[in-house]
Structure 1
Amino acid sequence: MLKGGLYIMDAASIKQEYQDAFDVAPQSVFFSPGRINLIGEHTDYNGGHVFPCAITLGTYGAASPRTDTTVRLYSGNLPKDGVLTFDVNDLSFNKGFGWGNYPKGMLYELAKKGAKFDHGFDLYVHGNLPDGSGLSSSASLELLVGVIAKKLYNLEVEQMDLVYAGQQVENDYIGLNSGIMDQFAIGMGKKDQAMFLDVNTMKYEYYPVDLGDNVVLIMNSNKSHDLASSKYNERRSQCEEALRRIQQGVNVKTLGDLTKEQFDQATYLINDATLIRRARHAVFENQRTIDAKQALDDHDLKTFGHLVSASHISLQYDYEVSVPELDTLVDTAWAQDGVLGARIIGGGFGGCAIAIVSRDQVDHVKEVVGDTYLKRFGYAADFYVAEIADGTHEVTA
C-alpha cells in the first residue's frame, strides 16, 4: 500500500508476499530499520563521535529453513532479478550476483566467526528505504540477514557481533571502506532514542530525542549514489594520509583524538591543501557532534540547529561530498521560517538531507523546498518525517 509516496508494509503483508513468491507460508518475519545521523558525518572511520538513530523506514524479511543446502533469495523491490540461488557451502563473492552478495557476505562473515550452516533457507525481502538514498539500505539488509541466521541456525552471537560482521561485509567482502556507524545504529537502535557513540572506545549512551516542537524532516533528492564506485574510499584514504603525516610529529592514533587547536598547530605537518581540508572536516565535525550533544543537554535547540547547518558547510566545502541537488535542498530549507538547521546525511554524492523543522511549518517547508527543487532539476524530491525505531528484530503479524 502506498501512503505519502512510501510503500507501507507490515508482517501480514510480507507473509503474503513470501507465500506468493515461494508457494508456502514463511516460518518467521523480521524488520530491520534504516538510519539517519543527526550529526557526525564521516567521523566514524576517523575515530570520532556519531549521533545516529534507527528509523521506521527499513527492510522487512520473511524466511523459512530448507532441508537441503540451497539458499533462495527474492526481493520485492527487484522482481526482475527473479529468484537468486546459491549453496550455503559456497559463500564466495560473485560480482554478477548483485544484491545477493549482501546476504551471502553476511553468512560468509558469520562462518569466519565459527557459525555452521547445515541447511539452506528461503528469504523474501521488501524494503521501503528509497533506492540510493543514503539511509543505509545495505546495512539494513546485512543486519536483517544476521538476525535471521541467528534464529534459523540457533547461533550464540550477540547483537554487537552481528554489527561487526555487517561492517566486515562492507569492508572486506564488498570493498567499501566504511565505518561502524550504520550497522551500529541499525542493530542497536531503540525507539525514540538516538545513540551517542565514541567509535574510538565503542562506548555509547542512548539519548532521548527531545526536539521540543520540532521534527526531523528527511529530504530525499532522488539522486542515487553508489558509494562503492564513488569517491568515498578516496576520502577515507586522504584522511589516513593526513593522519600519517600528523603522526610524524604528534602522538595520536586517530584524527578524532585531536582538538581543533591541536589540529591547527599540526597543519604544517600535512602541508597539502586537499588533505588539510579533509582532515579538518573530520576533526571539526567530531567537535561539532560533541557540542551538539551538549546543546541538547542544555535544551539549546538554536545552537543545535546552527551546528547541524555548520556540518553541511564542512561537508560541502572541506570534504566535498555534496552535490548541487543536496545543496539546493539545504539552502532552500535554511531560508524558511521554522527551520533550525539542515544538512546532508550519509556518505554523500546524492541521497538525502535532513532539516530540523518546527512541526507547524513542515507542510510549508515541503511545498517551498519541493517546488524550488522541481523547477531547478526537473524531477521531484520526496519528504518524510523521521520516526525513530527499534533495531533489527523479529516481528509478529
Structure 2
Amino acid sequence: MDQEILEKMQAEFSKIFGSKETRLYFSPGRVNLIGEHTDYNGGHVFPCAISLGTYALVADRQDDKTRMFSLNLADKGVVEFPMSGLVYDKSKDWANYPMGVVKVFEDAGYKAGHGFDVLIYGTLPNGAGLSSSASLEVLTALILNDAFSFGLDMVEMVKLSQKAENTFVGVNCGIMDQFAVGMGRKDCAILLDCNTLEYRYSKIALTGASIVIANTNKPHSLASSAYNVRRAQCEHALNELREVRPDLHALGELSDEAFNQLAGAISEPLERQRARHAVMENNRTLAAVEALEAKDVARFGKLMNESHYSLRDDYDVTGRELDTLAELAWQVDGVIGSRMTGAGFGGCTVSLVKDEAIEAFKEKVGKAYTEKIGYAPSFYVANIADGTHRVK
C-alpha cells in the first residue's frame, strides 16, 4: 500500500482515538467482468477483486464498545455501538454494515469478547457499484475472526457477510460481491457457480490490454426497490416454469434452447424478458470464460457487449448514463468490449481496452459523455488484486 495513506491513517487514528498499537487490514472492491444479475438466479458470475478498496486500522479495547471513524465520511463523526444485541439503526448510517456482521457472527455463536477502535479509509468511489458495502462487511468479518481466533475459513466469512446485508441491512443481494471481495486472487477472475458455490480461478492474461472502469457519477442506491423488484419477477417466472418442469431449481440450470421451449409457460411478457436475461447471461458467461481461456479476447469482448444489450433490453437496469458510456466506448478504436457492471441504474461500466488506446478512450468518452449528460465521468484503470487480508 501507499506509505502516504498509511501515515495519514496513523496520524488521524492517534488524533481521534489516542496512541495505541494497531493492526492494518485491506479489503478490495470488485468488478464483475460478465454475468450480471445471474447470482441470485442460480447462475454463474465472473468477477475479480480490484486494487481499490477499504483499509482499516484497528486497536483492541478493554470494554464491549466499538468506535468507528471513516476518513471518507468525516462529517458523520465517530460512530459507537456495543458488541452484542445490535439492531439496525438508521442514525448510525454506514456503520450498519459492520454492525450487521457483528450481529450475524453473534447469532452464529461467534461472540466478540471486546470492542475495537477502528479507523476506515476507502479508495473506492462511493455508490459506484464496485461493492464498497461488501468490502466493508468482509473486512469486519476478518477483523473479528482474526481478533478472537474463531477459525472460520474465508467462504464461511463470505456467507456471514452476505447474511448481514440480507437480514440486517435489508438488501436482498446475491453472494457474488462478498465472494469476489473475500476470495479474490491477484491476476485471476473467479468463475463462481452461485447455485453450488463451486468456483475456480481463471488467469486473466490480458496481454497489452487493461480493465478500465468508467463511473457514470450518477448517484444510485443498491437498496432501491428496483433491484428487489427484478428478483421477485425472476422468482415468479421460475415458479411458473416449475409447473412444467418440476425438477427445476434455478433459472441458471437452463440452456438457451430449453428456455426458448419453455418460455411460453411464463404468463407475463415482462417476466419472460427478465427470465430470458438470467438464462442467457448465464450461458454467455460460461462461453466468455471459455473464450478467454482459449486466448480469444476478441470473442470475450463481443460477449461483454451482448451482455450489455441484454441488461438494457431484457432486464432494463441500465439507464441513459450507462448506455451512453457503453455506446461511446464501442465507437473507440482499441476497445475490445464494454458493458455495465454491478446492479445498474447508475454506477459503472467495465471495458477491456488496449493499453495504447487508454488515454484516447478516456478523452473521447469523457468529452462526449459530458456534452450529452451534463457532467463528467471518472475513469479508473484497475489492477486485479488479492482478496481481504491483514496487511500487518
Normalising to structure 2: TM-score of the pair?
A: 0.97
**2:292 aligned to which of 293, 296, 302:** 296
Residue type matched to 2:346 in 1? G
Structure 2: gaps (5+ residues): none
Percent of aligned pairs sharing the same letter: 46
| Runs of 4+ displaced beyond 6 Å | none
CA contact (8 A) 2:84 2:106 kept: no
CA apart distance, 1:380 = 1.1
Q: What secondary structure sits across from 1:126 in the alignment?
A: strand
**Which of the numbers 184, 187, 193 marks the counterpart of 2:179?**
184
Corresponding position: 1:385 with 2:377: no
Q: 1:128 to 1:253 in 2, by over 3 A?
A: same
Matched with 1:325 is 321
Whether contact under 8 Å (1:218, 1:354) holds in the other structure is: yes
Task: Pick one of 301, 304, 308 that aligns with 2:304.
Answer: 308
Structure 2 counterpart of 1:144, one-letter code: L
Residue 350 (str. 1) matches residue 364 (str. 2): no
Deviations 1:82-125 (A, max 9, x none): 11111112311112221111111000011111112221111111
Equivalent position amino acid for 2:136 in 1: L
Q: Which residue identity lines up with residue 161 of structure 2 in the other structure?
A: G
- Does residue 132 (structure 1) correspond to residue 122 (structure 2)? The answer is no
Q: Which residue of 2 aligns with 1:17?
A: 12
Q: Is the 8 A contact 1:15 1:25 kept in 2?
A: no
Structure 1: gaps of 5 or more residues: 2-6
3-state SS of paired residue (2:113)? coil
| Equivalences for residues 85-124 of structure 1 within 5 A | 85-124=80-119
Cα deviation, residue 26, structure 1? 4.3
Structure 1 residues 66 and 160, CA gap change in structure 2 (3 angstroms)? same
What CA deviation, in whole Å up to 9, does each residue of 1:150-173 have, x standing for no partner? 122222211111100111011111
Shift of 1:15: 2.4
1:44 has 2:44 as partner = no
Q: Is the 8 A contact 1:8 1:128 kept in 2?
A: no
- Is the contact made by 1:14 and 1:29 (CA closer than 8 Å) also made in structure 2? no
The residue aligned with 1:4 is: none
Q: Give the distance between the partners of 2:20 and 2:331, measured in 1 at CA.
A: 51
36, 56, 61: which one aligns with 2:56: 61
1:205 aligns with 2:200: yes
Q: Show CA shifts across 1:336-372 (max 9, x none).
A: 1111110000001110001111110000000000001
Question: Residue 263 of structure 1 contacts residue 283 of structure 1 at CA under 8 Å; is this kept in 2?
Answer: yes
Deviation at 1:9, TM superposition (A): 6.1
Superposed CA RMSD? 1.4
TM-score normalised to the size of structure 1? 0.96
Distance 2:161 2:252 in 1: 23
Match for 1:271: what amino acid? S
Contact 1:19/1:26 (<8 A) preserved: no
Answering whether residue 67 of structure 2 is matched by residue 84 of structure 1, we say: no
- Kept in 1: contact 2:84–2:102 (CA 8 A): no
User: 1:15·1:29 contact (CA, 8 Å) conserved in 2?
Assistant: no
Q: Does the 8 A contact of 2:202 with 2:293 survive in 1?
A: no
Question: Aligned to 1:36, what secondary structure does the other structure show?
Answer: strand
Shift of 1:19: 1.8
Q: 1:241 pairs with 236, 251, 260, which one? A: 236
Q: Which moved more, 1:327-336 or 1:151-160?
A: 151-160
The 1:26–1:43 alpha-carbon spacing in structure 2 relative to 1, beyond 3 Å, is farther
Q: Report the residue type matching 1:371 in the other structure.
A: K
Distance in 1 between the 2:111 and 2:338 partners? 46
**Aligned counterparts of 2:14 and 2:183: Cα–Cα separation in 1:** 30
**AA aligned opposite 2:44:** H
User: Is residue 219–residue 352 contact of structure 1 (8 Å, CA) maintained in 2?
Assistant: yes
